């Protein structure tokens, strides 16, 4: 069973959704300037970046922290 996580703003969001939103907002070049990772610089793609981020907890944390700083989406 999973329990509700009312204090976790990332609850229910996949890493792919988070990364896609960041790429949409910053673009790959802008994202690389925000978080200097090779996966955002050298032939970036969602798939290769997800592979790296899933294996690297410190990098994933940086991506999640940057996502939380995005302005709220407007309808």
Segment 15-52, tens digit of pLDDT: 999 999 999 999 999 999 999 999 999 999 999 999 99
Residue 4, pLDDT score:
67
In this structure, the dihedral spanned by the alpha carbons of residues 51, 26, 42 and 18, taken in order and rounded to 10 degrees, is 0
- Go through 43-67 and write b for each residue having 16 or more CB atoms within 10 A of its CB, e for each that does not: ebeeeebbeebeeeeebbebbbebb
**Residue 73: pLDDT above 90?**
no
Domain 15-68 superfamily per CATH: SAP domain (1.10.720.30)
pTM over 0.75: yes
Q: If pLDDT is split at 50, 70 and 90, which confidence band does 74 have?
A: low
Segment 51-72 shows an average pLDDT of 94
């Amino acid at each position: 069973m999973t329990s509700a996580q009312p204090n976790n703003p990332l609850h229910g969001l996949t890493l792919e959704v988070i990364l896609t939103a960041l790429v949409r907002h910053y673009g790959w070049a802008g994202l690389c300037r925000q978080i200097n990772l090779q996966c955002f610089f050298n032939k970036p793609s969602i798939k290769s970046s997800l592979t790296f981020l899933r294996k690297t907890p410190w990098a994933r944390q940086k991506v999640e922290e940057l996502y939380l700083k995005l302005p709220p989406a407007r309808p």
